[in-house]
Chains A and B, each alone.
Chain A
Amino acid sequence: MTFEAIKQLLIAHFGEEVVLGEETGGLQPALLIAPDRIADVCLELRNNPATYFDFLACLSGVDYGITANRFGVVYHLTSIPYQLQLTLKISKEHGRDINDLPSFPSVSEVYRTADWHEREAYDLVGIFFENHPDLRRILLPDDWEGYPLRKDYQAAEYYKGIKID
């Protein structure tokens, strides 16, 4: 199934508003999905016999930079039966407030892979995932402050009273 056919399938199933656009400039085309619908889209792509995207290869949280003020999540899906790859992207503008994280629906109900990957995105980029079963930090200690992969992250001078050189 081609990229265009998958796009048409999603539009036919969910309506025009679910696909916000596409990026076809690079080597791998990507579909831009409406952030609120990502879990439904993933479920449909996984269960539809024409696509069977049953394997979530990678989930990346992205901070698109200080001037863009945009946070996003990128999903790399693989269809094992059809040997296809597909990239989905969701993003929204956000004011970088550390106490009010950008929030996206969790897809961990569809792909259990997303459980740990979303924890990692929360841990390092500071993205909140709604309805995630266990959204704790995974690589950093629970009491870590800040989100290191954000572009405006300042390394702390002290950790628990110990000066960091």
Chain B
Amino acid sequence: MSTTALERYHQKIAAAATQDMVLNMGPQHPSTHGVLRLELITDGEIVKEVIPHAGYLHRCFEKHAESLTYQQTIPFTDRLDYLSSMNNSHVWVMGVERMLGIDKDIPKRVEYIRVLVCELNRIASHLISIGTYGIDIGAFTPFLWCFRDREHIMGMLEWASGSRMLYNYIWIGGLFFDLPVGFEERCREFVDYFKPKMVELNELLTNNQIFISRTANVGVLPLDVAINYGCSGPMLRGSGLKWDLRRIDNYSAYGELDFDIPCGQGLMGTVGDCWDRNKVRVDEIGESLKIIEQCLDRLQKELKRTPDFDPRAKLPRKITPKAQDYYMRGEGSKGELGFYFITDGKSEVPFRVKARAPSFNNLSVISEMSKGIMIADLIAIIGSIDFVLGELDR
């Protein structure tokens, strides 16, 4: 059964080509942050309609997951949102652990290390988001500063896992390795180094008058629209709702940690504008630093490294969850990351896996947000959504 939607789409483009201008943005355009193609129907500088075309980076994650064991899929989850791989594998691993019923047996030290590396990765991801957003708007320096600071995190995570971006570090029931000796001290050094750098970055970019003029009151996303479109993460919080799954579900060690949930307040314009979304990310970096410090406190005191501690001790030998289906959600750096598992109880591979990617839902609102705006503002909106095509296309 073919649908008539494709014909309607072709007719729309053909009709627009005679009256308005059809403009292709991407897939190679740098401000689309990856291989996203936006088809714009424009009237001069005004965008009448945006038609997103995704899928250039589709690599059949869900099909792959149906033929690989749960442990073997972890490297594939790393490649979903490749800017915060730790968060992806954390959610995946927690989902499998809960289905196996071993989530309560995970050693505290393992949980705290997981949270520590996830938050480091979240900072790295937000730094890319803020830095590239600056570039989109025309500020080059913050980009270099962000990448300079992110490099410290990349170095630390490489030290822990052996890989710079795609870690395969969090395993079902434990970790690949314990943290290397001296990691906690190095991490504390980084936190002390990084805090003043954030102040500098805010002076340079977040509170810069040019930046504010480009982003405040631009791309306002009202809260009800955001919820209806399934936006999550900084997108939803930017619209003024304190909704963070780390707090709502209190998974892993987050229930024992103290942190705030920043949300958009419309300080420079309207609640839910581009500046608010960027500001939420800036504030979240501060909250992540708070979490990291608390994790380090505990990892250096009561959960100290002992010679006989084995992060692989609880690794299950055979992973065959009983027949059920389970939806696991967690707060990735972009929003609610979910994995929906269907298991048949007999085999070591899942029957069906669906990945609910936050970028996928966050981007879907772009057509709604960009009716009647200027093309230059569209760039500002795309940057403020902060999507990663790796998880959008899966």
Contact = CB atoms under 8 A, between A and B. Distances in A.
A142 B6 CA distance: 8
A139 B354 contact: no
Contact of A55 (B66, B230, B327, B393): B230
B48 interface: no
Contacts of A135: 3, 5
Interface residues of B, number: 43
B24 to A, nearest CB: 16
Interface of B: 1, 3, 5-6, 8-9, 54-55, 58, 60, 62-63, 66, 98-99, 227-230, 241, 243, 248, 323-327, 329, 336, 338, 340, 342, 351-352, 354, 356, 360-361, 364-365, 368, 393-394
A136 B9 contact: yes
Q: Is the interface of A mostly helix, strand, loop or mixed?
A: loop
Q: Lowest 8 CB-CB distances: which A-B pairs, in order?
A: A26-B324, A113-B230, A139-B55, A60-B354, A58-B356, A116-B364, A135-B3, A139-B58
Contact of B1 (A85, A99, A112): A99
Given A65-B351, A112-B368, A138-B54, 16 more contacts: A27-B98, A30-B325, A56-B230, A57-B329, A80-B241, A99-B1, A112-B228, A112-B230, A113-B364, A116-B364, A128-B3, A134-B9, A135-B5, A139-B393, A148-B60, A149-B63
A124 to B, nearest CB: 7
B364 A26 contact: no
A14 B243 CA distance: 32
Interface residues on A, range: 35 or more
9 contacts: A25-B323, A27-B98, A27-B324, A27-B326, A28-B326, A60-B340, A138-B55, A139-B58, A140-B55
A151 B267 CA distance: 52
B42 to A, nearest CB: 20
Contact of B340 (A58, A101, A141, A142): A58
B53 to A, nearest CB: 8
Contacts of B342: 62
Interface in A68-92: 74, 76, 80, 83, 85, 87
Nearest to B9: A136
Interface of A: 25-28, 30, 54-58, 60, 62-63, 65, 74, 76, 80, 83, 85, 87, 99-101, 111-113, 115-116, 120, 122, 124, 128, 132-142, 148-149
Contacts of B324: 25-27
A115 B367 CA distance: 12
Nearest to B325: A26
B14 to A, nearest CB: 15
Nearest to A144: B55
A137 B327 CA distance: 25
Contact of B243 (A80, A111, A115, A133): A80
